Structure 1
């Protein structure tokens, strides 16, 4: 029988979730003071720091940056959020998830610092970020790649100065915190830029405020489509830029090529001389769970806003099937459900809405009402992503496929159910030699 008591890491995470009165509390004053007490601001935590902000494309850009750095022989650390199955996913050192002891040591260092003097209250994300930076400093990688959690200017990640700042895309999301004005959102995301240091603009459709922020800081701007870009070739693609050698014969990593080009540009600006063979190997090796992740006839993608959904719909359209395409959709209540549904609709034949847990959750019944109002076919509603997936598995025809989408919680719920089933099957399998 397995021990049902929480692990030390789970106990820490539960404690952190309850420690601050609100889950999201944007601002750098508190987190910067604790970082100062921890000595994180006394010197660099890595040889180079690349910070990535944006509405969509952050995770794929970070994953490709990490693979490219390591295939060029550099030690690398990444910090991302949120996670799908395990908190450990958020911090990776040379491609390996941090172990529980490393994470707990970081939490303990943050706790000691925040109580060293006038106590300072921190959010779950703020403690996690400072703990990760503590671990990264101890690891001392040649490059640290940090993903902004929300916004940019006031996000805890921005407590460190980026040597290279990357803004991937700008769209409406997290309106309660960032508002609906794209120019204002652009200024917040561009807040990761630093005076005189390179800024990489990873989309040709960014608000003017992003470039104007860089120009006000005299930060050299390297924009997709003008300073670097993508040219498709017969069975591969070519990366070009205005300050270095072009790279040919690059493989499709299964992630947006604009993000791949942006990762190459950012790494070059971090002082790495790009090698064509290493770049091919890196891009051919990238695996990013929950982003256009295929498992048989199932595609899983965490996209939760209309821009991300439109990208997914386009990729599905490139892979037509003889059967029907079902969408298992679960979304949080503060997301633009109608916009996501409308973006996905051209590639979806029928829908299975599911309920997510938590105070921000949206019920399957509410999603079904929205779907039907938009003339979409709802074939089933269920109480959780796992239950919805089980229903679909029992009702799919051999030529059908499924898109699992709408939230990290939706994709994570299905992946967790599959992992639990695989573990049960392993546990139930007779040991060698038993009859």
Structure 2
């Protein structure tokens, strides 16, 4: 008798977490075979597919792509990972989180396919990716936007051929799986590119291996600062790039958009999203672009909640960006940091990048086998001469302690992990209930 399938999303997720011997198992053979059994590779997933890879900036690029596409009247599906609070955040259909029923139907379809023949073991992420792709395929949208989970070439998302491949940044992260050689990391991330299809490079400082991979494949490169540029640093910035071209060759005259709003997210990523959408055969309209960039929302990225700034940054590259944003918006009081990180992340690099703008630290422990304790973080901080104000047993406990310590002109940066921000977001609503979320994107980085 076959095992009964779960009847709730939580039960499904618990089952998936326990099903595979390791949490991360890079490689496409197993997941591609199940995708074939599901029929996912027999037809296009969507009218157009944009896949986004990179160390940092993937989430903001995806969010702006979705907002821009919807402002131009396109139907959309967006798959991202990880989530902050609810698993449903990972799949968005026409701008709305997928409901439990849609996600569970996808998981059931994967389960049937992986057992239809020689059983195939899949990781939590692989089942989630295939389930999301199955849900998207039930009603193919005009545009599917897929975010790579880890690396690129061997990531489960990469079983789908994109019409446009985007590489945002390349830096060290996930060293246990991707190593520390930036050229090799670049090759892995560039593995989402396809022959003859445009590749958008969203950073001025990518390793040479990214372009080398594109050249070997014959993928036309559209790089920031070359094929497309941005001018300005805030409100009223301008974008110049390659206009839509159904051949993807970039032969159309340059497109130009002016007086664009600050989305409160990195402008390089906004410029990259504009170029990727244009190469996906969308003729950019300035009013639609302004509307999208003014209204885009992305929880956990420079998200201000009163005195609290929440960001999922968890590597030195992201931390450097955070420090620059905070430095550009000084406050009259102290800037404190609630820091909680996983054990496989570069804590010393993150601390060094943030230290110039932080007056006091509250390290917190995370739960789980990959967790790093508050005591370990505190030792690293004190070894640098940093001020450790409190050692918290969890990010939630750190919030409770900090609420009692904050002056009216102080602010708190919460960072270090998706897990950190995911625990703090709902806790702020209950512990600091009088503080309201700042929903004005343009003012998220303004010091309270």
Does TM, normalized by the shorter one, top 0.5?
Answer: yes
Counterpart contact for 2:399–2:431, Cα < 8 Å: no
For 1:420 and 1:358, locate their aligned partners in 2 and report how far apart those are by CA, in whole Å.
24
In the TM superposition, 1:41-190 aligns within 5 A as 41-190=41-190
The equivalent of 1:321 in structure 2 is 331
Q: CA deviation at 1:420?
A: 5.3
Q: Give the alignment's Cα RMSD to 1 decimal.
A: 1.4
- Give the whole-Å Cα distance in 2 for the aligned partners of 1:233 and 1:346: 22
How far off is 1:416 after superposition? 2.6
Shift of 1:418: 2.9
Provide runs of 4+ in structure 1 moved above 2 Å: 418-423
* 1:338 positional shift: 0.3
Residue equivalent to 1:339: 349
Q: Could you say if the C-alpha distance between residues 235 and 146 of structure 1 is closer, same or farther in structure 2, counting changes exceeding 3 Å? A: closer
Alpha-carbon deviation of 1:21? 0.1
Q: Select which of 380, 398, 413 maps to 1:370.
A: 380
User: What is the aligned counterpart of 1:312 among 322, 326, 330?
Assistant: 322
1:341, distance to aligned residue in structure 2 (A): 0.3
TM-superposed deviation, 1:235:
3.7
CA distance in 1, matches of 2:369, 2:139: 37
Structure 1 spans left out of the alignment, 5+ residues: 1-5, 424-435
Aligned residue in 2 for 1:3: none
Residue deviations 1:211-241 (CA, integer Å, cap 9, x gap): 0100111100000000001101784100011
How big is the shift at 1:374?
A: 1.1
Query: What is the distance in 2 between the residues matched to 1:234 and 1:366?
Result: 38
Q: Measured at CA, do residues 172 and 23 of structure 1 come closer, stay the same or move farther in structure 2, by a change above 3 Å?
A: same
State the match for 1:292 in structure 2.
302
Residue 264 (structure 1) aligned to one of 270, 274, 288:
274
Structure 1 residue 198, shift from structure 2 partner: 0.3
Partner of 2:17: 17
Q: Please give the secondary structure, in 1, of the residue aligned with 2:238.
A: strand
Q: Could you say if the C-alpha distance between residues 234 and 35 of structure 1 is closer, same or farther in structure 2, counting changes exceeding 3 Å?
A: closer
- Displacement of 1:45: 1.0
Pair 1:225-2:235 in alignment: no
Deviates more, 1:221-230 or 1:409-418: 409-418
The CA deviation at 1:7 is: 7.2
Distance 1:75 1:354, change over 3 A: same
Q: 1:47/1:27 Cα in 2 relative to 1: closer, same or farther (>3 Å)?
A: same
Alpha-carbon distance between aligned partners in 2 of 1:163 and 1:122, rounded to the nearest angstrom: 26
Alpha-carbon distance in structure 1 between the residues aligned to 2:68 and 2:76: 10
- The aligned counterpart of 1:212 is 212
| Matched length | 419
Aligned in 2, Cα 1:233/1:159: closer, same or farther, shift over 3 Å? closer
- Say if 2:399 is the partner of 1:389: yes
Cα deviation 1:19-74 (Å, max 9, x = unaligned): 00000000000000000000000010100000000000000000000000000000
Q: 2:68 and 2:217 mapped to 1: Cα distance?
A: 28
Are the structure 2 counterparts of residues 233 and 16 from structure 1 closer, same or farther at C-alpha, using a change threshold of 3 Å? closer
Q: TM-score, normalised by structure 1?
A: 0.95
Find the aligned partners of 2:307 and 2:260 in 1 and give their Cα distance: 26
State the Cα distance separating 1:139 from its structure 2 match: 2.3
Q: Distance in 1 between matches of 2:42 and 2:149?
A: 23
Distance 1:289 1:421 in 2: 19
Check whether the contact 2:400–2:431 (CA below 8 A) recurs between aligned residues: no
What is the CA-CA distance between 1:422 and the residue it aligns to?
Answer: 8.6
| TM-score (structure 2 length as normaliser) | 0.92
Distance of aligned partners of 1:43 and 1:225 in 2 relative to their CA distance in 1, 3 Å threshold:
same
